[in-house]
């Protein structure tokens, strides 16, 4: 598991191993718009302020992945214990 901090909302949630970031955020009242939920369409793109994403999408380019400042929250996870998102 890892923690996601929603910086703009001032809330945080722990993402369990069997759920997505999107599903965890719903529990604290934050609804991220999704479409494909498979990392393909880019609808759920969020800005990363701190932490290192574990990219599991096929939407970002290699260069965008390496920058660690964007994440597709329907399917990607975290390498760091904590991810701070601009949401
Ligand atoms: Fe399509 Fe996340 S909903 S990439």
The pTM assigned to this predicted structure is 0.96
Non-local CB neighbours of 75 within 8 Å, separated by 6+ positions: 20, 37, 38, 39, 56, 57
Local confidence band at 59 (pLDDT 50, 70, 90 cut-offs): very high
- Average pLDDT over the chain, rounded to an integer: 98
Q: How far is the CA of 12 from the centre of ligand 1 (A)?
A: 21
Of all protein residues, the one whose alpha carbon is nearest to atom 4 of ligand 1 is 39
Copy the structure tokens of residue 10.
């001032």
pLDDT of residue 63: 98
Question: Does ligand 1 have an atom closer than 6 angstroms to the CB of 37?
Answer: yes
Question: Does ligand 1 have an atom closer than 6 angstroms to the CB of 40?
Answer: yes
**Is the complex ipTM higher than 0.90?**
yes
Rounded to an integer, what distance in angstroms lies between the CA atom of residue 40 and that of residue 59?
Answer: 5
Ligand 1 pocket test: which of 21, 32, 43 has the largest number of ligand atoms within 8 Å of its C-beta? 43
């Amino acid at each position: 598991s890892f923690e996601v901090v929603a910086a703009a909302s001032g809330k945080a949630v722990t993402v369990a191993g069997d759920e997505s970031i999107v599903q965890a955020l719903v529990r604290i009242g934050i609804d991220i718009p999704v479409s494909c939920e498979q990392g393909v369409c880019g609808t759920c793109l969020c800005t990363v302020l701190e932490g290192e994403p574990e990219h599991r999408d096929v939407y970002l380019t290699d260069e965008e992945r390496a920058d660690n400042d964007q994440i597709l929250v329907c399917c990607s996870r975290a390498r760091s214990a904590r991810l701070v998102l601009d949401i």
